[in-house]
Amino acid sequence: MNNGIMITFRVFLALFFLFIFTKLLSKRSLAKLTYFDYIAIVTLGTLAGNLAFNTKIEIMDFLLAMVLITIIIKLASYGAIKSKFWRKKIAGEATVLIENGKIREEKMHQLNYSYDYLLEQLRQEQIFNLSKIEFALLEPNGELSVQLKSQYRPVTPRDLGLETNYEGLSTTLILEGQVLKSNLAANNLSEEWLSKELDKRNITDSKKVTFAALGTNGKLYVDLYDDQAWDDK
C-alpha cells in the first residue's frame, strides 16, 4: 500500500480510537482536569500520534496500550471516589490562599503561585479589594474560589424576605432554523401550534429563526437571524 495512503488511514484510525477511548472517561475528567487526568489524556494523545506516523507500531499493540491506560484511569477515578486518601493523592485538595483579607504567603510560596496571577484571578471575579475577602481557595483544577465577607455579598430576595416564582429551565423549540419535534412532543405541543405562534410575530418560515424557547411560565422567546427578537411579557 502507498505510504501516503497508509499514513492517512492510520491518522483517521488514531483519531477514531482516541475519540472512543476519551468518551469512555467521565465528563468530569474533561471539564475539570486534575494533574492525573491531564497526564493520562496526554498519554492517550501521544499513543494516537505514534500510531498515525510510526508505521512500525502494530494496530493491535496500539489498541492494547489504549485499553490498559483507559482501565488504569477508570480504576484511579473509582479509587478517588471511594477513598478520601486516594482522592487527595490523585486529585489534590483546595488550598487557602487568602483568609480574612490576608494573603497566606507560605501557601503562595509552596505552590509557586505568583501575586500577579492571584490579583488577575480576583479581578476576573470583579474583586479589587482584598480586605473584602473572607476566604480564597485555589482548587485542584487551578480555579480560584472566593467567598466574600458577609457584609460585601450581594443581597438576595431571601435576605429581603421576598417571595420568588419558580423559573425552571426553558425548552428549546427551534435551533438554527430546525424545529425540535421531540421537545414539542415532550411539552404536548404540535408544529401547528408553533406555526400559529410564529404567525403572530409575522414569521412565515421557521428557518428564519435562530433560536426559539418556551419558558416554564408558558411564554415564548423568539430570536431571528436578522437580530430581531420577541419575548412574551
Please check whether the two domains, 95-152 and 171-231, share a CATH topology: yes
CATH of 95-152, one of 2.60.40.10, 3.10.20.340, 1.10.10.60, 3.30.240.20: 3.30.240.20
CA–CA gap between residue 59 and residue 159 (Å, rounded): 62
d(CA 149, CA 182): 46
Give residue limits of the domains in the chain.
Answer: 3-89, 95-152, 171-231
Distances (CA, A) of 107 to 83, 117, 180: 25, 14, 51
> What radius of gyration, in Å, describes the C-alpha atoms of the chain?
26
Under the phi-then-psi rule, with left for phi > 0, alpha for psi from -120 to 50, and beta for the rest, what region is 227?
left
Tens-place pLDDT, residues 60-117: 888 898 888 888 888 887 887 788 787 777 777 889 999 999 999 999 999 999 999 9
Classify 171-231 by CATH class: alpha beta
Mean pLDDT, rounded, for 14-22: 84
Q: Give residue for cell 404540535.
A: 190
pLDDT in tens, 81-93: 788 787 777 777 8
